[in-house]
């Protein structure tokens, strides 16, 4: 069925529809039962009891003419003994007065609404929707069938009022469209099954069924020309109608129970649910209680929803979207219904005697609809303002959680982007999801998948942080931006897509997370790079340091050797010579005396050597401890120095035993400096225990110096001391002015990470 059929169908629809509506409008429907008694027409019973004109007519009156047509010639009476429609009825009262009763539509509002106004509205509405479908949706066969179906239903509905006026065209249109709409529905369902790839359980030869509308058309035409056959043919058509209807329902039920597809479930419910009001509010109460809750006209209005529910299934191509809306609506309805019941019971209990049933019913209905509206409004507000969404499943949070978990395991940005696109594609069921990257340096676009780009990549430049924009058939979402790159996520689908609020929120959150994650991943990458760099630098630094240390040690050894050579070695050589002389001496008399002399020399030499050793390796430090060693050092200084030395040495308890050597060296250095350079009269030195380390406080009243000079000049070993203290994470403060003496304060804390002393000392 091609779209060429569209305009002819619309034209036909317009012509027939306008005519039918005109008929419907021109004459109000009355349905007054009349009976011919003694050649005179009398009124028995009107169909519409609320007709105000009824007051003017009594059972004794004789109806002469309807719309100036004598009763005996009235066409309507050929079918039923009813005056179906009339603008004017001429009656004769028993006293012989002839009276014209004019009937206007609004005299009988009930018939006006149900027979004219609502069908007319439905007619116009269908027209609009048809146009909308035609111009906004792709002209698939399904849509065309749906359009035809809707048009037929509208015609059937409009013609129903006209056909009860026993208007020939009305009858024909009504009967044939009744059957045609079902056949079209059958056809639509067959194609829909094909579309959603579910096996069609019934015959594929739908064309055959188009015979039935033709039959209905023929039968109706015959009944127009031969009114006596009217009722029979009418029954035939109705039977046909119900047979086809049952057929459709049973096909749907069967295939639903066979395939359990949610799409079929919706289809089925969209057909069945509109029947429910008719069944429960009209037919069943009528059968069991002889009373109806809703009039037949009103409850059958719901049947007209069927075509619209199909539109739903067509507008959004993916049916589970509808399921989402339906579950949400069901959720809201249940809540509203429970509350409404509660409210109504309460209302009735409190104010039951003041309220009539209709008022209570209206209040309940109002409450119910208001609540449903309230829920929808709340949902919108929540989404806009607080990013909270209604969810019937709570699945989204879980999905987000697992998606984040999966993405979070990557450590490289490209891998991350691919995984992210994959997750989105999986979750939103879109085939084409990829990340588009714009490189500012090279002005080039790259994407995570190979192949065509269906959008103009330049669009990426416009979107801002956190934005998800729909451009034609794709969604473009901002992902991340830095100095070099701008990244965006592109979502596309073969057909047009529509992402629900819930999914959008999911996507937004995920985008936010990925944005942060890229930022962090970049940082990690940079840090790793830096570490690698540092390690390389370290590797290159160590040989240099080793070389330096080696050179320093060699230098030190050289110096020691030189010193020993110049002093002790010479003495030992001298002693050896003396002994050699004695060995070869002829005169033994002097030997004893000379040996005593040599022994003395040797002891002196030994003492010197010992002093030398003591200088290299401080005595007592290992054996008697720091305090004994320092006391000894100080004793020696006091023996030799020209200044008065005040000292105080606290007992220290240091965790690092090697610290003792450092303290000893510092004392040695400070006191040597004092002896060599200070020219002081008094020197004070204090080793003070602190909470987590120690302090050395030195003060003299000597000549002092310019601090900057001595540090630069590297004399007095100040710099060496400074370096040593620094190596132990300590602080070295020196304060001195020329002729103002010198004060030095050294603080070292233990517990803070000390540099590896082994490396320092070699």
Partner 1 sequence: MITMLIVDDHPIVLEGTKKLFQENEDIIVDTESDATHVIQRIKNKPYDIYLIDINMPFENGINLARNIKATQSNASIILYTGDDITDYYPLILERKIEGILAKTASKEQILRTVRAIANGEIVLPQNFLDFLDNRFKLQDAKLDIHLNEKEKKILRLIAKGHTNKAIALELNIPQRTTERYLTQLFSLLNVDSRTDAVNLAERMNLL
How far apart are CB 394 and partner 1 at their closest, in Å? 51
Q: Token digits for 292? A: 């109806």
Nearer to partner 1, 422 or 695 (CB): 695
Nearer to partner 1, 323 or 614 (CB): 614
- With beta carbons less than 8 A apart as the criterion, state whether 112 and 105 touch: yes
How far apart are CB 547 and partner 1 at their closest, in Å? 30
Stretches 261-269, 391-399, 536-544, 622-630: which one binds partner 1 (CB under 8 A)? 622-630
How far apart are CB 655 and partner 1 at their closest, in Å? 5
Nearer to partner 1, 50 or 655 (CB): 655
How far apart are CB 620 and partner 1 at their closest, in Å? 6
Give residue for tokens 């999801």. Answer: 433
Q: Which residues of 374-408 are buried (b: 16+ CB within 10 A; e: fewer)?
A: ebeeebeeebeeeeebbeeeeebeebbeebbeebe
- At residue 449, the 3 state secondary structure works out as coil
Q: Could you tell me which residues come within 8 angstroms of residue 159 by beta carbon, excluding any fewer than 6 positions away?
A: 16, 20, 170, 171, 173, 174, 177
Give 723-751 as a 3 state SS string.
Answer: HHHHHCCEEEEEEECCCCCEEEEEEEECC
Give yes or no for residue 606 binding partner 1 (CB under 8 A): yes
Stretches 167-175, 351-359, 383-391, 614-622: which one binds partner 1 (CB under 8 A)? 614-622
Stretches 171-179, 262-270, 401-409, 606-614: which one binds partner 1 (CB under 8 A)? 606-614
Q: What is the DSSP string of 269-307?
A: HHHHTTHHIIIIIIIHHHHHHS--SS-HHHHHHGGGHHH
Size of residue set near partner 1 by CB under 8 A: 18
How far apart are CB 653 and partner 1 at their closest, in Å? 5
Sheet of strand 682-690: strand arrangement: 644-649, 682-690, 693-700, 742-749, 730-736
Give yes or no for residue 650 binding partner 1 (CB under 8 A): yes
At residue 41, φ and ψ (nearest 5 deg) are -90, 125
Q: Could you tell me which residues come within 8 angstroms of residue 336 by beta carbon, excluding any fewer than 6 positions away?
A: 367, 368, 371, 372, 375
Stretches 449-457, 603-611, 668-676, 708-716: which one binds partner 1 (CB under 8 A)? 603-611
- Position among 378, 384, 610, 658 found at the interface with partner 1 (CB under 8 A): 610
How far apart are CB 600 and partner 1 at their closest, in Å? 11
Give yes or no for residue 644 binding partner 1 (CB under 8 A): no
Nearer to partner 1, 519 or 608 (CB): 608
How far apart are CB 652 and partner 1 at their closest, in Å? 9
Stretches 291-299, 317-325, 612-620, 719-727: which one binds partner 1 (CB under 8 A)? 612-620
Q: Please give the C-alpha separations between residue 234 and each of 168, 237, 398, 531, in angstroms, as whole numbers.
A: 13, 5, 59, 92
Q: Could you tell me which residues come within 8 angstroms of residue 724 by beta carbon, excluding any fewer than 6 positions away?
A: 662, 665, 666
102 bridge partner residues: 88
Nearer to partner 1, 243 or 611 (CB): 611
DSSP class of 646: E
Rounded to whole angstroms, the Cα distance separating 344 from 331 reads 20
How far apart are CB 526 and partner 1 at their closest, in Å? 37
At residue 359, φ and ψ (nearest 5 deg) are -65, -45
- Position among 453, 523, 560, 603 found at the interface with partner 1 (CB under 8 A): 603
Q: Using CB under 8 A as the criterion, what x/- string covers residues 552-591 for binding partner 1? A: ----------------------------------------
Rounded to whole angstroms, the Cα distance separating 288 from 286 reads 6
Nearer to partner 1, 578 or 656 (CB): 656
- With beta carbons less than 8 A apart as the criterion, state whether 264 and 252 touch: yes
How far apart are CB 626 and partner 1 at their closest, in Å? 9
Stretches 15-23, 264-272, 621-629, 666-674: which one binds partner 1 (CB under 8 A)? 621-629
Rounded to whole angstroms, the Cα distance separating 140 from 143 reads 5
Give yes or no for residue 632 binding partner 1 (CB under 8 A): yes
How far apart are CB 694 and partner 1 at their closest, in Å? 11
Nearer to partner 1, 580 or 657 (CB): 657
516 bridge partner residues: none
- Position among 575, 620, 649, 684 found at the interface with partner 1 (CB under 8 A): 620
Q: Token digits for 513? A: 């997370």
Nearer to partner 1, 462 or 655 (CB): 655
Q: What is the DSSP string of 312-356?
A: HHHHSSSHHHHHHHHHHHHHHHHHHHHHHHHHHHHHHHHHTTT--
C-alpha closest to that of 233 among 167, 159, 171: 171
- Position among 140, 619, 719, 734 found at the interface with partner 1 (CB under 8 A): 619
Give yes or no for residue 622 binding partner 1 (CB under 8 A): yes
Give yes or no for residue 653 binding partner 1 (CB under 8 A): yes
Given its phi and psi angles, is residue 133 left (phi above 0), alpha (psi -120 to 50 degrees) or beta?
Answer: alpha
43 bridge partner residues: 34
- Position among 262, 296, 457, 625 found at the interface with partner 1 (CB under 8 A): 625
How far apart are CB 604 and partner 1 at their closest, in Å? 10
Give yes or no for residue 651 binding partner 1 (CB under 8 A): yes
Q: Using CB under 8 A as the criterion, what x/- string covers residues 662-691 for binding partner 1? A: ---------------------------x--
Stretches 305-313, 570-578, 620-628, 721-729: which one binds partner 1 (CB under 8 A)? 620-628
Give yes or no for residue 657 binding partner 1 (CB under 8 A): yes
How far apart are CB 572 and partner 1 at their closest, in Å? 15
Rounded to whole angstroms, the Cα distance separating 412 from 429 reads 25
How far apart are CB 698 and partner 1 at their closest, in Å? 21
Determine how many CB atoms are found less than 10 A away from the CB of residue 609. 15
Give yes or no for residue 624 binding partner 1 (CB under 8 A): yes
Nearer to partner 1, 471 or 620 (CB): 620
- Position among 554, 655, 709, 735 found at the interface with partner 1 (CB under 8 A): 655
Stretches 138-146, 426-434, 442-450, 649-657: which one binds partner 1 (CB under 8 A)? 649-657
- Position among 623, 639, 753, 758 found at the interface with partner 1 (CB under 8 A): 623
- Sign of CA pseudo-dihedral 45, 49, 51, 52: positive
Nearer to partner 1, 157 or 694 (CB): 694
Give 469-512 as a 3 state SS string.
Answer: EEECCEEEEEEEECCCEEEEEEEECCCCCCCCHHHHHHHHHHHH
Rounded to whole angstroms, the Cα distance separating 526 from 245 reads 71
Give yes or no for residue 640 binding partner 1 (CB under 8 A): no
Q: Please give the C-alpha separations between residue 171 and each of 13, 219, 304, in angstroms, as whole numbers.
A: 16, 10, 20
C-alpha closest to that of 499 among 463, 541, 468: 468
How far apart are CB 625 and partner 1 at their closest, in Å? 6
How far apart are CB 744 and partner 1 at their closest, in Å? 23
Stretches 174-182, 429-437, 568-576, 650-658: which one binds partner 1 (CB under 8 A)? 650-658
Nearer to partner 1, 657 or 723 (CB): 657
Binding positions for partner 1, rule: CB under 8 A? 603, 606, 610, 614, 619-620, 622-625, 628, 632, 650-651, 653, 655, 657, 689
């Amino acid at each position: 069925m091609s779209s060429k059929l569209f305009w002819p169908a619309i034209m036909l629809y317009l012509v027939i529809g306008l005519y039918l509506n005109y008929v419907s409008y021109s004459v109000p429907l009355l349905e007054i039962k009349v009976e011919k008694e003694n050649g005179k027409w009398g009124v028995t019973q009107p169909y519409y009891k609320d007709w105000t004109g009824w007051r003017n007519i009594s059972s004794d009156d004789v109806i002469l003419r309807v719309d100036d047509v004598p009763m005996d010639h009235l066409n309507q009476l050929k079918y039923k003994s009813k005056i179906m429609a009339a603008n004017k009825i001429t009656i004769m009262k028993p006293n012989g007065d002839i009276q014209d009763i004019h009937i206007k539509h609004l005299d009988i509002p009930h018939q006006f609404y149900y027979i004219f106004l609502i069908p007319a509205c439905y007619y116009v509405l269908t027209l609009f929707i048809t146009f909308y479908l035609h111009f906004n949706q792709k002209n698939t066969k399904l849509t065309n069938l749906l359009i035809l179906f809707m048009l037929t239903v509208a015609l059937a509905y409009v013609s129903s009022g006209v056909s009860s006026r026993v208007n020939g065209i009305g009858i024909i249109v009504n009967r044939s469209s009744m059957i045609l709409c079902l056949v079209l529905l059958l056809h639509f369902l067959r194609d829909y099954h094909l579309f959603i790839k579910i096996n069609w359980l019934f015959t594929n030869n739908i064309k055959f069924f188009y015979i039935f509308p033709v039959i209905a058309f023929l039968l109706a035409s015959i009944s127009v020309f031969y009114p006596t056959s009217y009722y029979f043919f009418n029954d035939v058509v109705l039977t046909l109608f119900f047979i086809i209807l049952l057929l459709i329902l049973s096909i749907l039920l069967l295939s639903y129970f066979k395939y359990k597809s949610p799409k079929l479930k919706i289809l089925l419910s969209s057909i069945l649910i509109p029947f429910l009001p008719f069944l429960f509010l009209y037919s069943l109460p009528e059968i069991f209680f002889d009373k109806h809750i809703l009039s037949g006209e009103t409850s059958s209005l719901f049947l007209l929803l069927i075509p619209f529910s199909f539109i739903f299934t067509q507008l959004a191509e993916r049916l589970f979207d509808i399921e989402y809306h339906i579950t949400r609506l069901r959720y809201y309805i249940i809540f509203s219904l429970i509350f409404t019941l509660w409210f109504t019971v309460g209302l009735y209990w409190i104010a039951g005697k003041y309220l009539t049933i209709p008022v209570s019913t209206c209040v309940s209905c109002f409450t119910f609809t208001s609540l449903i509206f309230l829920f929808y409004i709340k949902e919108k507000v929540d989404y806009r303002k607080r990013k909270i969404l209604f969810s019937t499943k709570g699945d989204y949070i879980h999905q987000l959680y697992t998606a984040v978990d999966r993405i979070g395991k990557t450590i490289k940005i490209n891998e991350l982007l691919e995984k992210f696109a994959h997750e989105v594609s999986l979750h939103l069921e879109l085939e084409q999801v990829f990340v588009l990257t714009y490189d500012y340096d090279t002005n080039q676009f790259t994407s995570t998948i190979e192949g065509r780009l269906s959008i103009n990549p330049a669009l990426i430049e416009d979107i801002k942080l956190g934005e998800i924009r729909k451009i034609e058939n794709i969604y473009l979402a901002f992902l991340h931006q830095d100095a070099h790159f701008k990244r965006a996520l592109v979502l596309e689908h073969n057909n047009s897509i529509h992402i629900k609020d819930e999914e959008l929120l999911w996507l937004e959150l995920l985008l936010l997370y990925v944005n942060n994650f890229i930022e962090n991943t970049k940082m990690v990458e940079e840090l790793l790079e830096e570490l690698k760099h540092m390690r390389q630098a370290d590797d290159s630094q160590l040989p240099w340091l080793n070389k330096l240390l080696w050179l320093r040690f060699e230098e030190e050894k050289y110096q020691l050797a030189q010193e020993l050579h110049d002093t002790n070695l010479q003495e030992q050589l001298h002693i050896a010579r003396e002994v050699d002389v004695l060995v070869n001496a002829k005169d033994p008399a002097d030997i004893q005396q000379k040996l005593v002399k040599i022994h003395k020399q040797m002891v002196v030499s030994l003492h010197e050597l010992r002093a030398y050793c003591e200088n290299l390796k401080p005595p007592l430090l290992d054996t008697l401890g720091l305090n004994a060693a320092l006391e000894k050092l100080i004793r020696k200084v006091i023996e030799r120095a020209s200044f008065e030395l005040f000292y105080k040495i606290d007992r220290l308890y240091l965790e690092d035993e090697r610290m003792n050597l450092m303290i000893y060296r510092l004392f040695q250095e400070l006191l040597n400096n004092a002896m060599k350079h200070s020219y002081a009269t008094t020197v004070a030195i204090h080793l003070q225990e602190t909470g987590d380390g120690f302090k050395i406080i030195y003060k003299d009243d000597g000549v002092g110096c310019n601090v900057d000079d001595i540090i630069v000049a590297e004399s007095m070993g100040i710099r060496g001391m400074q370096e040593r203290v620094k190596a132990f994470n300590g602080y070295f403060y020196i304060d001195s002015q020329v002729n103002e003496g010198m004060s030095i304060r050294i603080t070292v804390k233990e517990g803070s990470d000390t540099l590896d002393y082994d490396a320092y000392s070699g």
